[in-house]
Structure 1
Amino acid sequence: MKTVALVAGACYGMLSVILGAFGAHAFKSILSVERLQSFETGVRYQMYAALYLLVVGFFLKFDTGIEKSVAWMMILGTLLFSGSIYLLSFQEVWGANLKFLGPITPLGGLFMILSWAMLLITVLKIKN
């Protein structure tokens, strides 16, 4: 599980830099200001998740189910949260109706929040 968290963190970090660069340059000419701001929110939260996964990957032992869930909830939550924002940002450009993805974004956010809550529980259980 440690490797999964670290690889996911590294991939999310790399992709957020790539997508952020595209957002800052190439997508400025095709996305509205509002859609570009949404896209940048997805990129920002993906980078937060990348750093989070790297930290938990290095510091947790993943001995318990809750520790494993800390990583899986963040991985899945980020995929749902940022991924749905990216797709929704481009729906007008593609001429597609992707509004059905709207409820996916807060679900992803909920998984991310649950990951933070489980990390808090894990940290509080650590005996120094």
Structure 2
Amino acid sequence: MSNRPIILTASLFGLTAVILGAFGAHGLKSQVSPEALEIWSKGVEYQFYHTFALLFLSQLSMKQPKLLKLACIFFSFGIILFSGSLYLLATREITHIGFGAVLGPITPIGGLLFILGWGSLFFAASNNK
């Protein structure tokens, strides 16, 4: 498995996490409630955690490349669903999105994808001799 796509993916997620973190701290602070800002910050936090996990994956060379690829996919879609849904939930006061009720169940799906990513990494490492 080539590490270039993983590094590129992690770089984009890291870049957007910094931008979204700064936007939350400076642009949203006066626009949304403190609770909504906490939700936003949690999205940024988990995006960073899993960006670092992707970078870690890019440096591994194991005999289980399929499991590492799965971990990459799970982490990437976990970021999109978990953090993305938190960003949308946090800004619904100013965006007035009408599908807020749908976002609630999306966040745990993203969390489940994070768990599957960590599990895939665990099994890749445990099967590596």
Question: SS of 1:96's equivalent?
Answer: coil
The TM-score, its normalising length taken from structure 2, stands at: 0.92
Cα deviation for residue 47 of structure 1 reads 0.5
Mean Cα displacement is larger for which, 23-32 or 96-105?
96-105
Cα deviation for residue 35 of structure 1 reads 0.4
User: Corresponding residue for 1:85?
Assistant: 86
User: Corresponding residue for 1:102?
Assistant: 104
Cα deviation for residue 96 of structure 1 reads 2.2
Mean Cα displacement is larger for which, 92-101 or 17-26?
92-101
Q: Assess, with a 3 A threshold, how the Cα gap between structure 1 residues 24 and 121 changes in structure 2: closer, same or farther.
A: same
User: Corresponding residue for 2:43?
Assistant: 42
Question: SS of 1:15's equivalent?
Answer: helix
Cα deviation for residue 2 of structure 1 reads 2.3
Aligned AA (2:46): Y
Whole-Å Cα distance in 1 between the matches of residues 110 and 94 of structure 2? Answer: 24
Aligned residues: 127
Question: SS of 1:6's equivalent?
Answer: helix
User: Corresponding residue for 2:128?
Assistant: 126
Whole-Å Cα distance in 1 between the matches of residues 93 and 27 of structure 2? Answer: 16
RMSD over equivalenced CA pairs, Å: 1.4
Cα deviation for residue 94 of structure 1 reads 1.5
Aligned AA (2:79): T
What are structure 1's unaligned runs of at least 5 residues? Answer: none
Whole-Å Cα distance in 2 between the matches of residues 63 and 2 of structure 1? Answer: 14
Whole-Å Cα distance in 2 between the matches of residues 8 and 41 of structure 1? Answer: 20
Whole-Å Cα distance in 2 between the matches of residues 10 and 64 of structure 1? Answer: 21
Whole-Å Cα distance in 2 between the matches of residues 7 and 61 of structure 1? Answer: 20
The TM-score, its normalising length taken from structure 1, stands at: 0.92
Mean Cα displacement is larger for which, 5-14 or 34-43?
5-14
Mean Cα displacement is larger for which, 3-12 or 39-48?
3-12
User: Corresponding residue for 2:21?
Assistant: 20
